Structures are given as structure tokens and as C-alpha cells.
Amino acid sequence: MGDQCRIFFLALGLKLLLIPTYRSTDFEVHRHWLALTSSLPLSRWYLDTSSPWTLDYPPLFAHFSLLLSLPASLIDPAITDLFAGQNYAAPSAVLFLRLSVAASDLFLLAGVHRLSKHFPPLQKRLTLALILCSPALLIVDHIHFQYNGFLLGILLISLSFIAEGRDLAGGFVFSILICSKHLFMVAAPLYFVYLLRHYCNGLWTRAVSRFLVMGLAVGAVFVATFGPFVYYGQIQQVFVRLFPFGRGLCHAYWAPNFWVFYIVVDKVLAFILGNLGFSIQTPKASFTGGLVGDSSPFTVLPQVNPMVTLTLVLVALTPCLIRAFANPQPKHFIRWAAYTFTCGFMFGWHVHEKASLHITIPLGIIAMDSLGDARHYFILSIVSCYSMFPLLFEPQEYPIKVLLLVIYSLLMWVGFSSHFSNDNKPPKTAKKKTATVNSVGKSGLIGPVAACYLLGLFFIEAWAQFLHPFFFGSRFPFVPLMLVSVYCAIGMMYSWAWQLKQIILCS
């Protein structure tokens, strides 16, 4: 535990230094949830409209907020004051909530420890550093403000149980995760198929009994979580809050996924057809207007609704589900889970750029399984982090986000190069690739195409920060964001295709 503690406290030191930095409205969201859950009875949690930041996470996370409210009310009663405390950001409130995020990262440490405890020492240290010091996680949780580390820790704990062959515990913990944040549901089909084939196997009597045991374990979590709201006749209201489809296909700042290309093609076609004399009616609320909630923004291409996105996600998941059904092996489950989150990110409805953490954190566990995995993770983690740069738009945070990404990139470069050098044995899972692994010094961590792509990030950033303001001033403010989204979407599409190839080829 010595290395783990040192790395954890190193990451904790970084988080403490970030306490005075910028906070998004998510800070007030979570502070309000502490006040809401502690001030109102459970029967009114999902009915309250005393603030614009209504509760839209599942009930288990609401109970987590209630738990945090207990020490918060002792430290500063105004933190949990439902009305007088609105937009309350006294130093005591900021310090408490910042520290609560850092403390909840103990779940992340526990998950990484469980998954890496049998790794060789160097690989274990690097894995801990890759995940605990993730710049994207630091930006989202410890500057912008959220509790992703806590939730991702629960995911990694579930994955660790699956990797150990403890399927019942893995399924049980995953049900806790879904009841804490429903966006992880995209992995539910994989869990169902895998557990059905791997846990509920053997003679039919054994299979049926195990199926019932798993169903009871998972069902108990859902009954305990949602049962009270069924009792109060509010379950429909809970689901309305959890699935607000009226927010539109894309967030105001586009997540770098498939729909970015769909939007751009629609805009280009509308421009071309308009110049050719066709009558083109542009919707009042367009994607470049920075608005949320427009459900029919396309001018030329067919409109997209939630069922279309769900269908695309399920189609993209199909190869993975077939693999899990045909040959359910624990050693592949982390890769499969990361792929399911990638499908949800690429094709889902109203995806936030922060959801790429659901991909990069699990893949950090297997980043050193092979040189190919290391190369893929190197590119993916940089692109994922850079896509979150627009979240921190104030000048004082600019050097922080740049330094975090640069230092992390150097950490990956040095760490991967050391791990795959001739002086180190390749991982057990990559014995058949020894020759390729040992050639890292000759071939490099990234090839020429990847190097050119990453170099392009510098030009995108130079345009967004310096050239666009110089040439256009305050006009066309959406262009820099659009360039970041489109360029990062290219990298994310590559990641999706690369992962799909690995799943098809895995044995």
C-alpha cells in the first residue's frame, strides 16, 4: 500500500492546490442537493422546484448527498439552508465541498487497487498514476466540480469483482452504480449477456437457481432505491427528472462524437443548397446558437429523436454482445465495458463531453496490456482531456489546464517507454507480441499519422486562443468551440473504430 498511498496523496496535494480555482454552476447544483435532501422529506425530493437545479440523479446519489449534508450542517449550517443558502459560496462551503470530492475519490483508489493488485510493481505504479492523476478527472471534478471519481470508483470495484470471477458481487455493485448515476446504464446489456452466460451456466437447475439469485440481488437494490417513490406515487416524476429528453440531441457545447459530423454535414448542405437557389428555412434555434432544448434543429438532413440514438447505440453494441455471449471471458470484460461506454458516448442522446471519462478511466487499467493499447490510450486520453478545455474558459485557469495535460502526456510517454523497454518483460497478456513490444524504442509510442493529428491540436488551440480573437474579435464565438468539437471527434471516432477492431479480433 506504500506506493498507492504516496500516489494518492500526490494527487490529493494537486486537488488541494485547485481549491481556489473556477467553479461551474455544478457547484451550486450539488450544494443545493445537500440542502434539498436534508431539508425536505424523501417524498418531496423529486418534486421540489425551489431552485433551477432540480434533482436529476437517481435516489442513491440523493442519499449520498444526504450523507454529506450531515457534516456540512455542523461545519456551516448555511450550506444546507434550502432557501437562504441559494448560491452560497462562502469559503467554508467551498472548502467542505471541494474536500468531499477529494475524499470520495477513496472509492476510485479502492477500485484501482483491486484491479491492479496483481500487476508487476512498475505497471501497478503507472496504472495508479494514470487514473488518480488523470488531468481530465482533475478538470471536471476538482475545478469544474462534480463527483465522477466517486462514481467511477464504484464502476472499477464492479469490474474488479468480474475480473476475479465473482460475478454475483460484480452485478450487485453495478446495480448500485446504476442507481447512483443512470448514465452508466449503457453497459447494462453487456452485464446482462455476460452474467447470463458466465454466471448462470451449467445444468438448467443450477442455471435457473443462479439466475434467480442474481435477480434477487440486483432487484433488491432497485426495490430499495425506487420502492419508496413507487409507494408515494412519484415514480413517473422520478423518471421524468432522470430522462429529460426535451434537452435536445446535443449539449450547447457539442461533445466530440458522431453527431458533430451529422450537424456539420447538415450545415454545409444547407449552405450549398441555399446558394444554389433552393428555399432553405433555418430553425430559430440552431446548434451554433448555444441553446439547449431544440428537438428539431436540422435543416436538410432527417431529424433525430431519442429512439434513433438508442437504436444506433444498440447496433454499435451488437458485436461486443455477440462476443460476450459466445465466449464470456473475465479477461476481456474491462475492454468490453469501455467499448459500451464509447458507443453510448459516440451515438447517444444529449451526451456531455465529460462522459468520455467513462471510457478513459477503465481503459487506463489495461493501457499497458500491449503496445497497441498504450498507443491508443496515449492518443485517447490527450484528446479526451483537450475536449474539456472549453469548460475552463477563464484566463486564470488557462495555464493550469495546459500544464496538467502537458505533464500527464510526459508521464505517459516516460512511463510507457519504461514499461515496454527492453529492460522490462512484457505483460503476461501480451506474450505473443514480445517482438512488437520490445521494438518500442525503434517504432516510437506514436506513429507519423498520430503525431500529425496530435500536432493539429496545437493549431486548433492557437486559433481558438489567439488567431480567432485577432481576426474576428467577438464575432462568431461558436467557431472555436466548433473546431475543438469537430477535431476531437475525429480522434474519438478513431478510438471507437480501434476498440471495435480489438473486440472483433480478441480470442
pLDDT tens column, 465-499: 888 887 887 787 788 889 999 999 999 999 999 99
Rg of the chain, C-alpha, whole Å: 23
- For residue 160, tell me if it sits in a domain: no
In the predicted structure, residue 367 carries a pLDDT above the cut 70: yes
Q: Which of 262, 281, 303 is a domain's end point?
A: 303
DSSP helix/strand/coil, 122: helix
* Residue 437: per-residue pLDDT: 42
- For residue 123, tell me if it sits in a domain: yes
Per-range mean pLDDT, top range of 267-271, 278-282, 406-410: 406-410
Burial-class residue 2 by CB neighbours within 10 Å (0-12, 13-18, 19+): exposed
pLDDT tens, position by position, 65-124: 999 999 999 999 999 998 877 889 999 999 999 999 999 999 999 999 999 999 999 999
Q: Which of 238, 271, 303 is a domain's end point?
A: 303
Contact 194, 165 (CB under 8 A): no
The mean predicted confidence, pLDDT, of the chain is: 90
- For residue 263, tell me if it sits in a domain: yes
- For residue 112, tell me if it sits in a domain: yes
Contact 27, 20 (CB under 8 A): no
Q: Which structural domain, as residue segments, surrounds residue 288?
A: 250-303
Which of the four pLDDT bands, split at 50, 70 and 90, describes residue 439? very low
Whole-number Cα distances in Å, 427 to 1, 121, 359, 451, 487: 21, 12, 22, 25, 33
Contact 230, 266 (CB under 8 A): no
- For residue 294, tell me if it sits in a domain: yes
Burial-class residue 285 by CB neighbours within 10 Å (0-12, 13-18, 19+): middle
What average pLDDT does the segment 141-146 reach?
96
* pLDDT above 90 as % of the chain: 74
0.85 exceeded by pTM = yes
- For residue 14, tell me if it sits in a domain: yes
pLDDT tens, position by position, 307-327: 999 999 999 999 999 999 999
Q: Which DSSP symbol is given to 351?
A: B
- For residue 120, tell me if it sits in a domain: yes
- How many structural domains is the chain composed of? 2
Q: How far apart are the first and last CA of the chain?
A: 34
Q: Are residues 139 and 259 in the same domain?
A: no
Q: How many CB atoms lie within 10 A of CB 469?
A: 14
- For residue 89, tell me if it sits in a domain: no
Q: Are residues 140 and 12 in the same domain?
A: yes
In the predicted structure, residue 433 carries a pLDDT above the cut 60: no
